Amino acid sequence: MKRILSILGNLLLWALVIGFALFFNGRAKQHRAQTTISAMEVVLTDSLQDEVLVKSSIVEEWIRNSGIEFQGVPVENVDLNGIEQAISRNGFIQRVNTRTTFDGRLMVEVSQRRPLLRMMVDGYNCYLTEEGFIFPSPRLSAVYAPIVTGSYTPPVPAQYVGKTEDYISSLIAESEQRIADMQHEKVPLFEKDKEIRDSIKEVRKIRIKKRFWKELRLRFNPSYQSEYDQDVRDTRAYKAALRRKYRYWLRKNDNNIDQISQRQDNERQSQKKLLKRYEDLVKLINFVKYIEDNAFWRAEIVEIVASEMSNGELQLELIPRSGNHRILFGTADNVEDKLNKLLAFYENGLTNIGWDEFRTISLKYDGQVVCRK
- Verify that 183 and 248 share a domain, yes or no: yes
Q: Is residue 18 part of a domain?
A: yes
- Verify that 105 and 198 share a domain, yes or no: no
CA 359 to mean position of chain CA atoms: 38
- Verify that 190 and 243 share a domain, yes or no: yes
- Verify that 233 and 214 share a domain, yes or no: yes
Q: What is the pTM of this model?
A: 0.76
Q: pLDDT at position 27, please?
A: 47
Q: Name 332's Cβ contacts closer than 8 Å, sequence gap at least 6.
A: 280, 283, 284, 286, 287, 314, 316
Q: Is residue 341 part of a domain?
A: no
- Verify that 268 and 176 share a domain, yes or no: yes
* Residue where one domain finishes, among candidates 280, 308, 334: 280
Q: pLDDT at position 182, please?
A: 96
Query: Which DSSP symbol is given to 202?
Result: H
In whole angstroms, give the CA distance from residue 149 to residue 309.
Answer: 15
Query: 51, 140 in Cβ contact below 8 A?
Result: no
Beta strand 326-330 with 314-320 is antiparallel
Q: Is residue 191 part of a domain?
A: yes
Query: 101, 86 in Cβ contact below 8 A?
Result: no
Q: Is residue 257 part of a domain?
A: yes
Q: Is residue 21 part of a domain?
A: yes
Cα of first residue to Cα of last residue in the chain, in angstroms, is: 109
pLDDT digits (tens, 9 = 90+) for 306-319: 999 888 889 999 99
- Verify that 23 and 86 share a domain, yes or no: no
Q: Is residue 137 part of a domain?
A: no
How many CB atoms are closer than 10 A to CB 32? 16
- Verify that 181 and 251 share a domain, yes or no: yes
What's the domain count of the chain? 3
Nearest-CA neighbor of 316 among 325, 303, 299, 297?
Answer: 303
- Tens of pLDDT along the chain (373 residues) come to 556 656 655 666 665 556 555 444 544 454 455 578 778 888 887 655 555 677 777 888 888 888 888 888 787 788 889 888 888 888 778 888 988 887 888 888 888 888 899 999 888 999 999 999 998 887 766 678 899 999 999 999 988 999 999 999 999 999 999 999 999 999 999 999 999 999 988 888 887 655 545 555 556 566 666 766 777 788 888 888 989 999 999 999 999 999 999 999 999 999 999 999 999 999 999 999 999 999 999 999 999 999 998 888 899 999 998 878 899 999 999 999 999 988 888 888 776 677 777 888 898 888 788 888 7
Q: pLDDT at position 210, please?
A: 53
Partnered with residue 36 across adjacent β-strands are 74
Q: Is residue 188 part of a domain?
A: yes
Residue 107 is part of which domain span? Answer: 36-113
Q: Name 215's Cβ contacts closer than 8 Å, sequence gap at least 6.
A: none
* Residue where one domain finishes, among candidates 255, 280, 305: 280
In whole angstroms, give the CA distance from residue 269 to residue 274.
Answer: 9
Q: pLDDT at position 271, please?
A: 96
- Verify that 176 and 257 share a domain, yes or no: yes
- Verify that 248 and 274 share a domain, yes or no: yes
Query: Which DSSP symbol is given to 77?
Result: G
- Verify that 108 and 182 share a domain, yes or no: no
Cα angle 52, 54, 56 (rounded to 5 degrees) comes to 105
Q: Is residue 121 part of a domain?
A: no
How many CB atoms are closer than 10 A to CB 328? 18
* Residue where one domain finishes, among candidates 113, 138, 156: 113
Looking up residue 101, the CATH number of its domain turns out to be 3.10.20.310
Residue type, 133: F
Q: pLDDT at position 23, please?
A: 43
- Verify that 8 and 42 share a domain, yes or no: no
- Verify that 40 and 30 share a domain, yes or no: no
Residue 98 host element (H or E):
strand 93-100
